[in-house]
């Protein structure tokens, strides 16, 4: 029921966004999963973008022109994101796009945006492949290549020399595994297995794991269901070595279903407190309007920042795609998530990582980690 | 960690195979009976498995009923849903052609998938969150819940064997399996029997779903792989032979565990990604040698 309400409120928002149009507006596109398994990312990022646009419009818009959001459903798949990108660029003629959210969406929409010379900023996609996606493609969430360097740094500090990893066979998880191998070296991976998506029975792998000597176990899943099952069977098999995971494990739901199995597990992700800095911060405005975020507040904050950044740039240089690209590449922007800029590949600089830990069923943030 | 002693490692693999096999047999057994008696493929089976599990989760974690009533409630709602499935998507069609329900139940499985996403959301759910208490038998670690699953499955199979071969109800069943019309002319109400068999298969499926929800976790996209594995067992076991299907369910599940868990020839491990593929390849290879299945016979024996 909650999902249905969320979907219908999104639909209502999309309708409202459409009816606000007409005549002299500046159109910004949105591509993200509004339906399907990943719809929670899409809801949070669209809400973040909507708040930014409402604030700008209330303050008079960009040079007197109101901003209009045109939201398209990328369904977390490349094919749907490509269709959405074609529509936004050829029919709606948007000035720039916030999206995609899933890495698969961004990678599929990127060539189309390159051809049309339209800037895309993704607040969520973290696949290392997005780095090379093109000159008009930016993201203000850091690449997984950087995340695994941060993981390697933490492993070195904690003397985790031997690593056992079980990965889910999806683009995201295998890319993360590969860059982790690159960061720590092949020899450090004493146990490296990949299971089919949706696997829930890891018992034979756990039996084999008893033969390996390892310091840390990395459940590398694309979904919290995978990580929950792996962690439960890991602890039930009697292993006591610590566990360490990535951003998928940054899920309140994981603590609920896996309970004490994930207690003490550490992970690295961007801070979920991005934008949650005080009584008048973005987080307060977000919660007042949309309640608790469906996945993670930092997704909404980064989407809010990306939208404001685009509005600022368009206000300065106008709506020409190449001019917008050049200005975005040069900007150092002070947003709700902190001060950040983009490197030559369009990857964000300045959004850091935080080491987090499951304590008493909740995720607490320990300290920031800056990869070397 | 430690170099595990060899015997205990094999005991653990055996325990793993028994756990996975019991779950598979529970799901495939009812399905084999339905195929044997009605000659019908029920493609919504995996969804019925999940529905039983999710109902129990809802009763236990949302309504906060104690575990036992929740499990009973889950079984009952599984039975109701299966009955509904039979009346709407199977009963009106299977007399015309026994392949019609193949299409209608696929459609129903998609509707159920969407319904469960809306009702229970896409996040994973666990009926008993957290760690289970485990203990060691002969070097194999196993939880209380897993022991109960293995024993209950055995009891259910034995009870079914008794009913099937030693009671008049069982004789009627076997008569319907051998010749539907002939049984009808002898005064056996086969329409009622069909309904009962179909619902019983749903209760078994629901029991499988409840175990998954207790031992692992439930996610709404999990249904189709369950259906496929149950069908592999039925086809490999000799279509319509219920004991063959149950044996093959144990066999496939055991193979999957052993394939990945054993250090083959002291030289290499099979990567976990091939777990399902290799087991099913084995079945295909076997069917090439004996196309009618492992335990086929001239007449259907259910």
- 3-state DSSP of chain A: CHHHHHHHHHHHHHHHHHHCCCCCEEEEEEEECCCCCCHHHHHHHHHHHHHHHHHHHHCCCECCEEEEEEEEECCCCHHHHHHHHHHHHHHCCCCEEECCCCHHHHHHHHHHHHHHCCEEEECCCCCHHHHHCCCCEEECCCCHHHHHHHHHHHHHHCCCCCEEEEEECCHHHHHHHHHHHHHHCHHHEEEEEEECCCCCCCHHHHHHHCCCCCCEEEEECCCHHHHHHHHHHHHHCCCCCCEEECHHHCCHHHHHHHHHHCCCCEEEECCCCCCCCCCCCHHHHHHHHHCCCCCCHHHHHHHHHHHHHHHHHHHHHCCCHHHHHHHHHHCEEEECCEEEEECCCCCEECCCEEEEEEECCEEEEEEEECCC
B2, B3, B124: residue with CB nearest A228? B124
Contacts made by residues A55-58, CB under 8 angstroms, sequence distance 24+: A56/A308, A56/A311
Torsion A335-A339-A340-A341 (CA) sign: positive
User: B189: distance to nearest CA of chain A, Å?
Assistant: 42
Residue A3's pLDDT is 57
Interface touch A224/B124, C-beta < 8 Å: yes
Interface touch A196/B273, C-beta < 8 Å: yes
For residue B40, what is the DSSP state?
A: -
Interface touch B272/A195, C-beta < 8 Å: yes
Which residues in chain B touch residue A216, judged by CB atoms under 8 angstroms apart? none
Taking only the tens place, the pLDDT of each residue in B160-213 is 889 988 999 888 888 887 777 888 888 888 888 889 989 999 999 999 999 999
Which residues in chain A touch residue B131, judged by CB atoms under 8 angstroms apart? 232, 235-236, 259-261
Which residues in chain B touch residue A238, judged by CB atoms under 8 angstroms apart? 134, 141
Q: Which residues pair with A191 in a beta bridge?
A: A164
For residue B262, what is the DSSP state?
A: S
- Tell me the count of A-B CB pairs closer than 8 A: 125
Interface touch A4/B118, C-beta < 8 Å: yes
Which residues in chain A touch residue B219, judged by CB atoms under 8 angstroms apart? 198, 223, 225
**A259 part of contact set with chain B, CB < 8 Å:** yes
Alpha carbons B80 and A255: distance in angstroms, whole number: 33
Residue B297's pLDDT is 58
Interface touch B216/A194, C-beta < 8 Å: no
User: A272: distance to nearest CA of chain B, Å?
Assistant: 19
Alpha carbons B158 and B152: distance in angstroms, whole number: 10
Residue B6's pLDDT is 63
Taking only the tens place, the pLDDT of each residue in B52-110 is 999 999 999 999 999 999 999 999 999 999 999 999 999 999 888 888 999 999 999 99
What does the pLDDT profile of chain A (372 residues) look like in tens digits? 555 555 555 555 555 544 444 458 999 999 998 877 677 888 999 999 999 999 999 999 998 999 999 999 998 888 999 999 999 999 999 999 998 898 889 999 999 999 999 999 999 888 888 999 999 999 999 998 889 999 999 999 999 999 999 999 887 888 899 999 999 999 999 999 999 888 889 988 998 998 899 999 999 998 888 999 999 999 999 999 999 999 889 887 888 889 899 999 999 988 888 888 878 899 999 999 998 887 788 889 999 999 999 999 999 999 999 999 999 999 999 999 889 999 999 999 888 899 999 998 888 999 888 877
Residue window 336-355, chain A: list those with CB within 8 Å of chain B: none
Residue B269's pLDDT is 83
A201, A225, A260: residue with CB nearest B20? A201
Answer whether A51's CB lies under 8 Å from A118's CB.
no
User: B112: distance to nearest CA of chain A, Å?
Assistant: 15
CATH architecture label of A145-269+353-369: 3-Layer(aba) Sandwich (3.40)
Residue window 182-221, chain B: list those with CB within 8 Å of chain A: 212, 216-217, 219, 221
Alpha carbons B150 and B142: distance in angstroms, whole number: 11
Domain spans, chain B: 18-221
Residue B35's pLDDT is 86
Residue B295's pLDDT is 75
Residue B4's pLDDT is 44
Name the segment(s) of chain A with CATH classification 3.40.50.2300. Answer: 2-142+274-336, 145-269+353-369
Taking only the tens place, the pLDDT of each residue in B3-22 is 444 667 788 888 999 999 99
Taking only the tens place, the pLDDT of each residue in B140-156 is 888 998 999 899 999 98
Nearest to B141 by CA among B3, B4, B16: B16
Alpha-carbon Rg of chain A, whole angstroms? 21
Alpha carbons A3 and B119: distance in angstroms, whole number: 8
User: B171: distance to nearest CA of chain A, Å?
Assistant: 39
Alpha carbons A12 and A163: distance in angstroms, whole number: 48
Q: Span A2-142+274-336: which CATH code?
A: 3.40.50.2300
The β-bridge relationship of strands A25-32 and A338-342 is unpaired
Residue A352's pLDDT is 85
Answer whether A169's CB lies under 8 Å from A194's CB.
yes
Interface touch A228/B217, C-beta < 8 Å: yes
Backbone φ and ψ of A244, nearest 5°: -145, 130
Backbone φ and ψ of A204, nearest 5°: -65, -35
Confidence of residue B282 (pLDDT cuts 50, 70, 90): confident
Taking only the tens place, the pLDDT of each residue in B247-273 is 989 998 888 888 888 888 877 888 888
Q: Which residues pair with A269 in a beta bridge?
A: A354
Backbone φ and ψ of A358, nearest 5°: -80, 115
Residue A245's pLDDT is 95
Interface touch A204/B269, C-beta < 8 Å: no
Alpha carbons A310 and B14: distance in angstroms, whole number: 60
CA B140 centroid distance within chain: 24
Which residues in chain A touch residue B275, judged by CB atoms under 8 angstroms apart? 195-196, 199, 204
User: B12: distance to nearest CA of chain A, Å?
Assistant: 7
Residue window 136-175, chain A: list those with CB within 8 Å of chain B: 166, 169
For residue B125, what is the DSSP state?
A: B
Q: Which residue of A has its CA nearest to B220?
A: A37
Which residues in chain B touch residue A256, judged by CB atoms under 8 angstroms apart? 126, 129
Sheet containing strand A266-269, edge to edge, reads: A244-245, A266-269, A353-359, A362-369
Answer whether A99's CB lies under 8 Å from A71's CB.
no
Q: Which residues pair with A243 in a beta bridge?
A: A217
The β-bridge relationship of strands A216-220 and A189-195 is unpaired
Residue A20's pLDDT is 42
Confidence of residue B38 (pLDDT cuts 50, 70, 90): confident
Alpha carbons B224 and B227: distance in angstroms, whole number: 5
Burial A14-41 (b: 16+ CB within 10 A, else e): beebeeeeeeebbbbbbbbbbbbbbbbb
Q: What is the average per-residue pLDDT within B122-141?
A: 84
Answer whether A204's CB lies under 8 Å from B261's CB.
yes
Tell me if residue B98 falls in helix, strand or coil. coil
Interface touch A238/B141, C-beta < 8 Å: yes
Q: Which residue of A has its CA nearest to B258?
A: A204
The β-bridge relationship of strands A96-98 and A25-32 is parallel
Residue A21's pLDDT is 42
């Amino acid at each position: 029921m909650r999902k249905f309400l969320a979907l219908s409120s999104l639909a209502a928002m999309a309708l409202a966004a459409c009816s606000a149009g007409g005549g002299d507006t500046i159109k910004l596109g949105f591509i993200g999963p509004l339906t399907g398994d990943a719809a929670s990312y899409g809801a949070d990022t669209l809400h973040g973008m909507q708040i930014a646009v409402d604030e700008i419009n209330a303050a008079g818009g960009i040079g007197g022109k109101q901003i209009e959001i045109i939201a398209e459903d990328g369904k977390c798949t490349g094919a749907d994101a490509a269709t959405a990108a074609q529509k936004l660029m050829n029919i709606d003629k948007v000035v720039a796009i916030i999206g995609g959210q899933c890495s698969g969406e961004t990678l599929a929409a990127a060539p189309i945006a390159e051809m049309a010379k339209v800037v895309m900023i993704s607040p969520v996609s973290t696949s290392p492949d997005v780095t090379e996606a093109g000159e008009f493609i930016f993201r203000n969430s850091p690449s997984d290549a950087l995340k695994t360097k941060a993981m390697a740094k933490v492993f070195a500090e904690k003397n985790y020399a031997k690593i056992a990893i079980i990965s889910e066979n999806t683009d995201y998880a295998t890319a993360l595994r590969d860059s982790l191998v690159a960061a720590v070296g092949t020899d450090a991976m004493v146990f490296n297995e990949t299971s089919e998506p949706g696997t829930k029975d890891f018992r034979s792998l756990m039996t084999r794991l008893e033969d390996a000597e390892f310091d840390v176990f990395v459940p590398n899943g694309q979904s919290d269901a995978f990580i929950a099952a792996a962690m439960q069977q890991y602890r039930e098999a009697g292993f006591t070595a610590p566990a360490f995971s990535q951003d998928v494990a940054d899920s309140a739901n994981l603590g609920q279903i896996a309970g004490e199995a994930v207690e003490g597990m550490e992970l690295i992700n961007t801070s979920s407190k991005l934008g949650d800095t005080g009584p008048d911060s973005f987080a307060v405005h977000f919660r007042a309007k949309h309640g608790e975020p469906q996945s993670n507040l930092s997704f909404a904050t980064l989407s809010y920042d990306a939208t404001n950044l685009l509005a600022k740039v368009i206000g300065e240089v106008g709506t020409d795609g190449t001019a917008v690209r050049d200005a975005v590449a040069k900007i150092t922007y002070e947003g709700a998530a902190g001060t950040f800029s983009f490197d030559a590949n369009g990857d964000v600089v300045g959004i850091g990582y935080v080491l987090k830990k499951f304590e008493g069923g909740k995720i607490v943030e320990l300290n920031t980690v800056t990869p070397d | 960690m430690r170099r595990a002693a060899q015997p205990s490692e094999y005991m653990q693999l055996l325990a793993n195979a028994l756990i996975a096999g019991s779950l598979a047999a529970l799901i495939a057994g009812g399905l084999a009976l339905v195929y044997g008696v009605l000659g019908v493929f029920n493609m919504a089976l995996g969804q019925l498995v999940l529905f039983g599990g999710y109902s129990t989760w809802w009763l236990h974690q949302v309504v906060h009923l104690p575990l036992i009533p929740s499990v009973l409630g889950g079984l009952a709602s599984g039975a109701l849903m299966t009955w509904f499935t039979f009346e709407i998507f199977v009963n009106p069609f299977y007399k015309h052609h026994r392949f019609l329900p193949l299409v209608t139940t696929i459609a129903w499985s998609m509707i159920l998938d969407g319904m469960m996403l809306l009702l229970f959301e896409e996040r994973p759910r666990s009926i008993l969150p957290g760690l289970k208490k485990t203990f060691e038998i002969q070097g194999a670690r196993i939880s209380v819940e897993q022991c109960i699953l293995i024993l209950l499955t055995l009891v259910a199979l034995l009870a079914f064997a008794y009913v099937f071969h030693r009671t008049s109800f069982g004789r009627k069943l076997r008569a319907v399996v051998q010749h539907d019309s002939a049984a009808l002319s002898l005064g056996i109400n086969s329409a009622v029997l069909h309904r009962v068999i179909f619902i019983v298969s749903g209760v078994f499926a629901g029991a499988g779903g409840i175990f998954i929800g207790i031992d692992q976790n439930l996610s709404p996209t999990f249904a189709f792989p369950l259906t496929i594995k149950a069908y592999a067992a039925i086809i490999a076991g000799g279509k319509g032979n219920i004991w063959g299907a149950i044996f093959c369910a144990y066999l496939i599940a055991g193979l999957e565990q052993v394939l990945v868990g054993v250090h083959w020839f002291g030289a290499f491990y099979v990567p976990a990604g091939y777990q399902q593929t290799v087991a099913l390849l084995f079945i295909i290879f076997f069917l090439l040698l004996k196309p009618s299945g492992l335990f086929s016979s001239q007449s259907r024996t259910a």
